[in-house]
Amino acid sequence: MSRSGDNLLAAFEGESQASARYLAFAETADAEGYPGTAKLFRAAARAELVHARNHLKAARRIGGTLDNVRAAIEGETHEFKEMYPDMVKDAVEEGDTEARHSFEFAMSIEMVHAKLFKKALENPAANPDAVYYVCPLCGHTVLNEPPKKCPYCGVDSAKFMEIP
């Protein structure tokens, strides 16, 4: 790949991380009673997401829907089979319970995501009126109706975020 291509991918990673970081910062600002600062963080997060998308597009890393679903399956599968098991092991060895829980939640949910993407690959036109629900603690993702309690972390269904 060219230097520009490498730079686009590095910039994509940086902008993506900044977007996620700013959304987390916005939650903290809201919780601490700073709604204006929270709004600024959310606005900056959206702008960073625009930058990330532009970099990914310029790097020619956005394909057609079926190619994108295949890429998602590959990425999610890599995470739950290869990436997170090693991270969980390291956290256990270091006695870092918070890191271990974070990695275990993510590893479990990446498996769920891979299954959802596999279903989408089988029939990409299915579920045009789908509503997904995401657990705010562990990220568990379900189609059409949240469980009474999250099977991974125990969060009540009323706290699941609706993604129309």
Report pLDDT digits (tens) over 66-118: 999 999 999 999 999 999 999 999 999 999 999 999 999 999 999 999 999 99
Q: Are 67 and 122 found together in one domain?
A: yes
Q: Are 120 and 144 found together in one domain?
A: no
Q: Are 86 and 117 found together in one domain?
A: yes
Confidence of residue 4 (pLDDT cuts 50, 70, 90): very high
Q: Are 121 and 135 found together in one domain?
A: no
Query: Domain count of the chain?
Result: 3
Q: Are 148 and 101 found together in one domain?
A: no
Q: Would you put residue 109 in left (φ > 0), alpha (ψ -120 to 50) or beta?
A: alpha
Residue 1, pLDDT above cutoff 80: no
User: Domain of 25: which CATH number?
Assistant: 1.20.1260.10
Domain range for residue 42?
3-58
